[in-house]
Amino acid sequence: MSRTGTSYELYKQMPDILKPDLYIMKNITKIQLGQNGPLVSKLGLGCMRMSSIWGGPTPDETESIATIHEALDRGINFLNTGDFYGAGHNEMLVGKAIKGRRDDAFISVKFGAIFHNGQWLGLDLRPIAIKNFINYSLTRLGIETIDLYQPSRMDDSVPVEDIIGTVADLVREGKVRHIGVSEITADQLRKANSVHPISALEIGYSLAERGIESDLLPAAKELGIAVVAFANTAEGLLSGEMKAPLAENDYRNHFSRFQGKHLIHNLEKVEVLKQLASNKGYTPTQVAIAWVNAQGGHIMPLVSMSRRSRLPENMAAMDIVFTPEEIHTLNTTFATGAIQGGTYLQR
């Protein structure tokens, strides 16, 4: 069965017993991490939403583990977690899921962010802290080596050279295979890569979040660094399901992008995306993922999910092809600055 909008609709109507043999990408597209790095699936599985987010409920763990298993079965081997997701819960969950399947999974771990009672406190990027973080992560994951280890963000509290130099020491010790970075500037990326080859840059990127196109993305491409792009639907803004105003207890109310006139303006832009998606027979979420995927062979959409039912939809998005006219419509409607207000990415 071809992965088109129409066939995806047929898939959803089929009995569950018939579904596992469909949408299995035995020859899933690969992406190389760094100039001489490993090949991994071009679609990454973000595991963050399998744990409590901003103090919210924890999804069903059995279903989350089953989602990881099915993703691995379908060829999605890039699993992204963080030692601060659910205060360690996420790493323990991933560890359970990959037990007995270590060779099937490529594990990416972020470190450095400090939370207390669901509240952001800041970063701890001191070498002594990094050497402490790594041991807890390895224990929670139940593995001997982390495939990709990266600071979750950088500030001016610790020199870039000291942060990357410390992780490079962990590479030499055999605790880390490859070094990544996340949410940094082009200058920081160049400096980090001068200390030790950087394999991947993890960064928020979507139709609604295009500021990195001016300098950070070109720098990564120049250096041969793969881009792991998260928040493809901009915290649900591009899903086509958001309505104004948000519920009072919605964590997104903390960010100006989802408040008052900003949200109303932004949802008007999303109407264009919804219409284009409808015309192609796909969902707005699929088109949003597909747009990120279409930005280059060195860019991986990192999609967070905690339910197996989301896998076919997200995998089908990787096969979407746009016409030049469709790309022009999306790029002009969602030009840099078209979406008003900030999010945690501007924290």
- pLDDT (tens digit per residue) in 75-107: 999 999 999 999 999 999 999 999 999 999 999
For the entire predicted model, the pTM comes to 0.90
Q: Which of 318, 302, 225 is nearest to 29 (CA)?
A: 318
pLDDT value, residue 15: 52
Main-chain phi, psi angles of 56, to 5 degrees: -80, 180
Whether residue 188 contacts residue 160, with contact meaning beta carbons closer than 8 Å, is answered with yes
Residue 41: inside a domain: yes
Structural domain for 209, as ranges: 26-243+288-321
Whether residue 297 contacts residue 226, with contact meaning beta carbons closer than 8 Å, is answered with no
Residue type at 80 in one-letter notation: N
Identified catalytic residue from 8, 23, 85, 282: 85
Residue 279: inside a domain: no
Mean per-residue pLDDT for 6-13?
48
Chain centroid, CA 22 distance in Å: 24
CA distances from 144 to 50, 95, 130, 214 (A): 23, 11, 16, 39
Percent of the chain with pLDDT over 90: 83
Least confident of 26-40, 94-108, 128-142: 26-40
Report whether pLDDT(306) > 60: yes
Report whether pLDDT(68) > 50: yes
CATH code: domain of residue 206: 3.20.20.100
Q: Determine the Cα angle at 283 with ends 230 and 77, to 5°.
A: 40
Residue 153: inside a domain: yes
Mean per-residue pLDDT for 204-208?
97
Residue 127: inside a domain: yes
Whether residue 110 contacts residue 202, with contact meaning beta carbons closer than 8 Å, is answered with yes
Residue type at 117 in one-letter notation: N
Residue 267: inside a domain: no
> In this predicted model, what pLDDT tens digit does every residue of 166-186 receive, in sequence order?
999 999 999 999 999 999 999
The count of structural domains within the chain is 1
The model's confidence at residue 53, banded by pLDDT at 50, 70 and 90, is confident
Residue 46: inside a domain: yes
The model's confidence at residue 18, banded by pLDDT at 50, 70 and 90, is very low
Number of H helices and E strands in the chain, helices first, is 11, 12
pLDDT value, residue 21: 41
Catalytic site includes residue 149: no
The model's confidence at residue 344, banded by pLDDT at 50, 70 and 90, is confident
Least confident of 9-18, 129-138, 324-333: 9-18
pLDDT value, residue 27: 67
Residue 9: inside a domain: no
Residue 200: inside a domain: yes
> In this predicted model, what pLDDT tens digit does every residue of 226-276 receive, in sequence order?
999 999 999 999 999 999 999 998 889 989 999 999 999 999 999 999 999
Mean per-residue pLDDT for 280-309?
97
